[in-house]
Amino acid sequence: MLKNLNKTTRSNIITYGIVIVAFVVMQGLAMAGAISNSLVGLLVPICAYICLTISLNLVVGISGELSLGHAGFMSVGAFCGLVVAACCRGIVGSDIVRLTIAILAAGAMAAVAGVIIGLPVMRLRGDYLAIVTLAFGEIIKNLLNNLYVGKDASGLHFSMESANSLGMQGGTILINGPQGATGIDKLSTFASGFVLILVTLTVVLNLINSRTGRAIMAVRDNRIAAESVGINVTKYRLIAFVVSAALAGMAGALYAMNYSSIVPKKFDFNTSILILVFVVLGGMGNIRGGIVSAALLTVLPELLRFIGDYRMLIYAIVLILVMILSNNAAFQSRLTSLREKVRRRSDDQAALAVDSQSGGASHE
Amino acid sequence: MGFLTNLINGISLGSVYAIIALGYTMVYGIAKMLNFAHGDVIMVGGYLCFISMTNLGLPPLVGVLLAVVGCTCLGIVVERLAYKPLRGAPSLAVLITAIGVSYFLQNSALLIWGANPKAFTSVIPLPSVSLFDGQLVISSVTIATVLVAIAVMVGLTLFTSRTKMGKAMRACSEDKGAAQLMGINVNSTISMVFAIGSGLAAIAGVLLCSAYPTLMPTTGSMPGIKAFTAAVLGGIGSIPGAALGGVLLGIIEIFAKAYLGTQFADAIVFAVLIVVLLIRPAGLLGKEIHEKV
Amino acid sequence: MSKDVKGTYLAQSAAAKAASEGAVSDADEGRSQEASAQAAPAKSQRKGSRTKMVPVPSTSIVPERDADKDPVLECRHLGIDFGGLRAVDDFNMMIGRTEIAGLIGPNGAGKTTVFNLLTKVYQPTRGTILLDGVDTAGMDTAKVSKAGIARTFQNIRLFGSLTVEENVRIGLHNQVKCGMWSGMLRLPRHWVSEKEFHDRSLELLDVFHMANNAGDVAGSLPYGAQRRLEIVRALATNPKLLLLDEPAAGMNPSETAELMDTIVRIRDTFNIAILLIEHDMDLVMGICEGIAVLNFGKIIAKGTPDDIQNNPQVIEAYLGKQDTDQGGE
Amino acid sequence: MFNHGVSRRSFIQLSGVAAAGIGLTACGGSGSSGNAGGSASAEGAIKIGGIGPITGAAAIYGTATKFGAQVAVDKINETEGKTVLELNWQDDEHDPEKSVNAYNTLKDWGMHVLVGTTTTAPCVAVSTETNADHVFQLTPSASSTDVIGGQADQDGNVTIPRKDNVFQMCFTDPNQGTASAKYIAEQKLGTKIAIIYNNADAYSTGIFRKFESEAKNLNLEIVSTTTFTDDSATDFTVQLNEAKSKAADLVFLPIYYTPASIILKQANQMGFAPKFFGVDGMDGILTVEGFDTKLAEGVMLLTPFVATATDENTKGFVEAYKKTANTEENPNQFAADAFDCVSAIWGAIKALNITSAMTTQEICDKLIETFASGTFTFSGLTGENMTWSATGEVTKDPKGMIIKNGVYEPMDAAK
């Protein structure tokens, strides 16, 4: 049945299939209590990281720009989302609706941040672009470290100085500078994470296989040729960047609302790098690979806990080895020839089997 | 006087950034890779010097020498094992490997030397210079750092322009294929660059720890990122650019703290970087490379 | 050698309209002191005014059939400097609406630079480019493409990781419209446009009999097919003028012969002008109607293939000075 | 510039690696980590889980608490003659996400009581989890009021409700802020005060805020307030210059000892010699290997623990700690806090006849009742006759220490 569809559609259906099957299996196991608390606790972060990986893949893999500040958009979404969720407390009854509103607001806010950052950034290329995204990530972190937001009867209060200068009466502090946000309502669930993955996946896959996506990939493959066929390079680089930022913001909101507290420090350069590692290991531009690598690499450090002190060292070695093995030309060619050999042998066997069955008359 | 003090402090901090940035820029110029592990080589250099001085009781100069030798070897080994197999691989793959190396070095240091910070004794056991009746105090480390930064920059410039090896490096930087055809051993040239870069990192580590005397497994990461920023600011690949970028970044950082408030100092430093890159997209002294159509 | 341009009066027979336009343009460039003439747009011809008319040299010719229409391209005093080097200087050329024109010259003469100027990959230092009578000043590469100039590249620039069909679809980018949201949300508009993309790209690929390769990855195609795909992609932008940069490079004689047929066929089918850079003289002399010869950034001759073959300056440029007297054959 | 060369195969290989990892876990089981002194899983032992950063920039604190707790567990098991306590310490990299992961891992292990987490921000996240699961938690060193919840700020806003299962072994940040301000005012230690704090750190900012408002009440003059972040914790010349130019005679440092050691050195280099006043995070400064203790001469700090004290308990602990951690360095107050946490919990367990047969929730109920009663007292390394209130805060006397000749000496008339 699948064979009748074209290659891209088939590949996309497999991707959706993997996500859906994985969700159903995990949800079933979790409900049956067959998986450990440790893994259950990882489900929502895995969902968030998958969304982040898909969204970063849009910039790094599809648009071909190196971004080192993805965590910045994640944090914008995270803090925006939890403020919105807190504002809806008492107004909107249903948790799911509240979460949805918060995530959408987070996406919108992160998109705005994406436009503000993207406009200047898109004038640059290559490593210079990378360093500027890094710089913006650090700036966002620095600003959030000095952001104070509180809510009382008269509404929201903002300050860039201190919690005391919010001038609130009997309200709650939502974001308390470097202490971050505490007392977050834990609205995120595995199911909502799954839905967000589907949404992210749909947006990105649809985008890739559309006129806009082709223009983005054209710019990646050959900027000058893309210009020469009339594609506005800046516009399409910006579209990829902003969509990616918005999706990262949504994932950030999901992530933040899985914990009761969150600090700006979490969204630093290292987190940006972590997501980048997921993307590169999964294969740049390879959405399905990114999903798998994000899930596995989030679980891996937890699986390595039994090693104790050597855990992160082993993680580093695994990272280096995987990168070398998957990119070393000599090793790859050896692997290919090995695979060829295996296939030939099995082909031979198959041919032999066919031959023996049909009495050696299989070849015309 | 406050201005002068801040300026001197800025130059001092900037000189440390400059030395690190020079290593970054050398490696980038030839290997075309962002070596995110560079900051961690700095940390290793610091530890090696610390051990030789404190645990082995060797004189500071020997300690520095040991650190340089140790880091040079480390650089060569890392290059052989981790980067060389990836020659010709996509640059992002190399970047991630460099990050892996960075994690590896940090966690190895954690296991070997422990998490407790070490207080680094300055390798320059000279008193501070006091001017204007003690209103302006310049520490000996500051003076040494600035002098070393200048020496390293001049040395590298001469090396790349005058020596055979240096010229081979520049040839590799321009076009590896052509360089190979001219009989230059590209592989050994790249190894050489890593050796030089790592040796510089050791010197930077010793000076960094002398000026800001805490040594931890994570000591190198932030200065590493700042120096990378500095290298880009000056135009990555350019030797005078790295030195200029480093010093400027140091001055901007100190001035931002002193005159615009310590709260937003980091944001200001990075904002300056962005503005500079928007005006000069290839950095202050970088060459803009036009793609040939 | 630069002075020689004025000596090439090959174009005296050019259409009257074209010549008069050339005259106005020269006046624009400051030869005339009259402020009114300077301020006037190039197109406006004030028949009633008493402007003093002077004869000016023109280096252009167009086919007779295009003579009564606006030329599709007109370059006036086009030039660019790289640092102190005048890579292209005082480049004047006119191309008729359905002309197949050639741009030849020794290596390093600045031929590709001219293409880069026409498509605004480089912004000209001076001079004017009129595309179908519209000044392209201030446009960027993408806008020029929308205005009607398409090109191929000397060093092939395909979207290597995408399929053949996708490459053509990208060429059709400005021909079939569908916004980001329609695509992202799979609105009906998306499906309509996708069908149109598909149909039109296959139609275009058919020109080169490449419809069967539609699903192949462009980067994996053989060299000749890649060159042809570049032409298809350029055609997809619905140009008025197609610039081909060494289309026959790397092709064997039979492929070249086929290419010559195809180029003529493209012109006849799409009714567009084609300007090509080529070193293969059989191809140039075989299909080009007008040929411009470039040396050291300047046009040293423009004429018919016969004119060019017999032009002593051209021969000198190609073969060096000692062979001058052989030029007459 | 980046083409997609990273092949699709990479993740296949990766899955292979991960599969190997899963296999390994299966073999390794959920054994306890670290050099737990060969603590084989024993029948009937109470399982104590611990969380703190063993890797990353905050590894100092996690390592200290880990070994501190280990020393206590080993000592108790030795005294009892059999394994009555079992410790499983998990790394959280000073990251709330990893901390919750670590907590879940400990839950799978079957933890009865949690000692942790070491650092504040992760602890706030974990304490919500323990609260929901009803697991008793005693944190050695997470000092923010958000950890225990139920505390109002000065405007009377309560952001987080009280988490009734969470108790602290350390002072809360506001307590330290208030105590420091009072101490300075009462002892007339300084008239012009400069403050340098880490505005990217919850602990530091928490103390600073309280100190600031308390100083206003006590009419202490704050002449300069400057900040730094973890990213800019290498150079303090600007902050010190500002303090110097305002003629500050006391610099209050509500920060950890690592940046503090740089501040002391740089102040010395620029010839600035005010009084320095630190809080409990300053403890440990003398243990920094290679630190010139002369620089710390005259530094005052509030700390509950003195490693150089001569009483038997402290001496025994320091010795055991060095052996367990395999180090030459003295333990800091984090280690002592963790030691006290385990000891206090053991005291309660013994008194209440708690056995591992009980569920974690039953144990939690009993321990909450005991700790919140206000009558449960405990004497340990970090204080005599400590009690806890239902708010989760500990009541113990802060010891004002001054560094003289490289050792702590009690400040006169310590309240």
CB-based contact (8 Å) between D13 and chain B?
no
CA distances from B258 to B263, D234, D260 (A): 11, 15, 19
Whether residue A329 is predicted with pLDDT greater than 80 in this model: the reply is no
Contact call for residues B25 and B241 (beta carbons, < 8 A): yes
Residue C218: the pLDDT is 92
Rounded Cα distance between B144 and B153, Å, is 14
Rounded Cα distance between D202 and D173, Å, is 9
CB-based contact (8 Å) between D24 and chain B?
no
Between B2 and D330, the higher pLDDT residue? D330
Residue B115: the pLDDT is 81
C146 min Cα distance to partner chain A (Å): 6
Contact call for residues D356 and D45 (beta carbons, < 8 A): yes
Average of per-residue pLDDT across A75-82: 95
Q: Which residue of A has its CA nearest to B108?
A: A313
Are C180 and A231 within 8 A, CB to CB? Answer: no
Residue A354: the pLDDT is 54
Between D404 and B100, the higher pLDDT residue? B100
Nearest to B100 among A131, A143, A316 (CB): A316
A interface toward C at CB cutoff 8 Å?
6-7, 203, 206-207, 209-215, 217-218, 221-222, 224-233, 239, 243, 285
Q: Which of D3, D10, D87, D100 to mutate to test the interface with A (most CBs of A within 10 A)?
A: D10
Residue D33: the pLDDT is 39
* DSSP 8-class letter at B270: H
Q: Tell me how crowded residue C215 is: count the other CB atoms within 10 A of its CB.
A: 11
Contact call for residues C297 and C88 (beta carbons, < 8 A): yes
* DSSP 8-class letter at A266: G
How many helices, marked H, and strands, marked E, lie in chain D? 12, 15
C282 min Cα distance to partner chain B (Å): 26
Who's near B17: CB < 8 A, 6+ residues apart? B223, B226, B227, B230, B245, B246, B247, B249, B250
CA distances from C152 to B128, C237, C244, C254, D153 (A): 67, 12, 5, 21, 69
Residue D329: the pLDDT is 80
* Spatial CA neighbour of D46 closest among D105, D76, D87, D74: D87
- Determine which of C188-202, C226-240, D100-114, D174-188 has the lowest per-residue pLDDT on average: D174-188
CB-based contact (8 Å) between C185 and chain A?
yes
Provide the residue type at D197 as one letter: Y
Q: Which residue of A has its CA nearest to D11?
A: A282
Are A132 and B82 within 8 A, CB to CB? Answer: no
* Of the ranges B120-129, D87-96, D289-298, D380-389, the best mean pLDDT one: D87-96
Rounded Cα distance between A177 and A163, Å, is 8
Length of chain B: 293
* Of the ranges A9-23, B84-98, D22-36, D325-339, the best mean pLDDT one: A9-23
Average of per-residue pLDDT across A18-37: 91
B106 min Cα distance to partner chain C (Å): 38
B126 min Cα distance to partner chain D (Å): 11
Q: How large is the C-alpha radius of gyration of chain B?
A: 19
Are B96 and A123 within 8 A, CB to CB? Answer: no
pLDDT in tens, chain C (329 residues): 443 433 333 333 333 334 344 444 443 444 434 444 444 444 445 555 677 766 655 557 788 787 778 889 988 889 999 888 888 988 888 898 999 999 998 888 889 999 999 999 999 998 999 998 899 988 999 999 999 999 999 999 999 999 999 999 999 999 998 889 999 999 999 999 999 999 999 999 988 888 998 989 999 999 888 999 999 999 999 999 999 999 988 888 888 999 999 999 999 999 999 999 998 888 999 999 989 999 888 888 888 888 888 888 888 887 776 544 444 43
Average of per-residue pLDDT across D269-287: 83
| Beta strand segments in D246-320, E | 250-253, 275-278, 300-303
Residues of C with Cβ-Cβ distance to A228 under 8 angstroms? 119, 121, 141, 145, 150-151, 153, 157, 234
CB-based contact (8 Å) between A313 and chain B?
yes
**Coil, strand or helix: which one is B58?**
coil
Are C170 and A218 within 8 A, CB to CB? Answer: yes
Contact call for residues A110 and A246 (beta carbons, < 8 A): yes
Phi, psi torsion values for B196, nearest 5 degrees: -65, -45
Q: Which of D208, D270, D272, D282 to mutate to test the interface with B (most CBs of B within 10 A)?
A: D270
Strands B129-131 and B136-138, by their bridges, are antiparallel
**Coil, strand or helix: which one is D253?**
strand
Q: Which pLDDT tens digit goes with each residue over D16-71?
A: 434 433 333 333 333 333 333 334 455 788 999 999 998 887 888 899 999 999 99
Nearest to D55 among A38, A180, A312 (CB): A312
CB-based contact (8 Å) between B90 and chain A?
yes
pLDDT band at D251 (very low <50, low <70, confident <90, very high): very high
Whether residue D3 is predicted with pLDDT greater than 50 in this model: the reply is no
Residues of A with Cβ-Cβ distance to D146 under 8 angstroms? 179, 182-183, 261
Rounded Cα distance between A340 and A344, Å, is 6
Residues of A with Cβ-Cβ distance to B225 under 8 angstroms? 134, 269
Average of per-residue pLDDT across D107-130: 91
Q: Tell me how crowded residue D359 is: count the other CB atoms within 10 A of its CB.
A: 11
Neighbours of chain D (3+ CB pairs under 8 A): A, B
| Beta strand segments in C7-133, E | 73-82, 85-95, 100-104, 126-131
Q: Which of A261, A268, A320 to mutate to test the interface with D (most CBs of D within 10 A)?
A: A261
Between A168 and D205, the higher pLDDT residue? D205
Rounded Cα distance between D229 and A191, Å, is 38
D20 min Cα distance to partner chain A (Å): 10
Residue D375: the pLDDT is 86
Q: For tokens 């089997």, what's the residue?
A: A353
* DSSP 8-class letter at C31: I
**Coil, strand or helix: which one is A247?**
helix
User: What's the CATH number for A2-310?
Assistant: 1.10.3470
CA distances from C19 to C14, C59, D203 (A): 7, 10, 83
Nearest to D155 among A169, A261, A284 (CB): A169
Residues of C with Cβ-Cβ distance to A222 under 8 angstroms? 157-160
Are A276 and B101 within 8 A, CB to CB? Answer: no
- Residue D68 has which token pair? 């501190």
Residue-range domain boundaries for chain A: 2-310
Average of per-residue pLDDT across D106-131: 91
pLDDT band at A350 (very low <50, low <70, confident <90, very high): low
Q: Which pLDDT tens digit goes with each residue over B16-30?
A: 999 999 998 888 888
pLDDT band at D176 (very low <50, low <70, confident <90, very high): confident
Rounded Cα distance between D23 and D165, Å, is 36
Residue-range domain boundaries for chain B: 2-220
Rounded Cα distance between D131 and D136, Å, is 8
pLDDT band at A355 (very low <50, low <70, confident <90, very high): low
Phi, psi torsion values for D174, nearest 5 degrees: -60, -40
What contacts 24+ positions apart, CB below 8 Å, involve C152-156? C152/C227, C152/C230, C152/C231, C152/C234, C152/C243, C152/C244, C152/C245, C152/C247, C153/A224, C153/A225, C153/A228, C153/B293, C153/C230, C153/C245, C154/C112, C154/C245, C154/C246, C154/C249, C154/C277, C156/C223, C156/C226, C156/C227, C156/C230
Rounded Cα distance between A342 and D102, Å, is 43
pLDDT in tens, chain B (293 residues): 678 888 988 998 899 999 999 998 888 888 888 888 999 999 999 999 999 988 888 888 899 999 999 999 999 999 999 998 888 888 888 888 999 999 999 999 998 988 888 888 777 777 777 777 666 778 888 888 999 999 999 999 999 888 888 888 888 888 888 888 888 888 888 898 999 999 999 999 999 988 888 888 888 888 888 888 899 889 888 899 999 999 999 999 989 888 887 788 888 889 988 998 888 888 888 877 666 77
**Coil, strand or helix: which one is D140?**
coil
Are A239 and C190 within 8 A, CB to CB? Answer: no
Q: Which of residues 246-265 of B touch A (CB under 8 A)?
A: 263-264
pLDDT band at D153 (very low <50, low <70, confident <90, very high): low
Provide the residue type at D51 as one letter: I
CB-based contact (8 Å) between B101 and chain A?
yes
Who's near A231: CB < 8 A, 6+ residues apart? A215, A218, A219, C142, C170, C173
CB-based contact (8 Å) between A187 and chain B?
no
Residue D6: the pLDDT is 41
Residue C7: the pLDDT is 35
- Residue A46 has which token pair? 């895995």
- The domains located in chain D, with CATH, are 5-171+308-397 (3.40.50.2300), 174-303 (3.40.50.2300)
Q: Which of A162, A265, A275, A319 to mutate to test the interface with D (most CBs of D within 10 A)?
A: A265
CA distances from C128 to A274, A321, C22, C80, C125 (A): 52, 57, 12, 11, 10
Residue A98: the pLDDT is 93
Whether residue D175 is predicted with pLDDT greater than 90 in this model: the reply is no
C271 min Cα distance to partner chain A (Å): 19
Q: Which pLDDT tens digit goes with each residue over A191-225?
A: 999 999 999 999 999 999 999 999 999 999 999 99
Are C160 and A232 within 8 A, CB to CB? Answer: no
Q: Kindly compute the dihedral angle of the four CA atoms of residues A166, A170, A175, A178, in this order, to the nearest 10 degrees.
A: 70
Contact call for residues A59 and A241 (beta carbons, < 8 A): yes
**Coil, strand or helix: which one is C243?**
strand
Between A123 and B22, the higher pLDDT residue? B22
D150 min Cα distance to partner chain A (Å): 11
Contact call for residues D90 and D102 (beta carbons, < 8 A): yes
Average of per-residue pLDDT across A134-159: 89
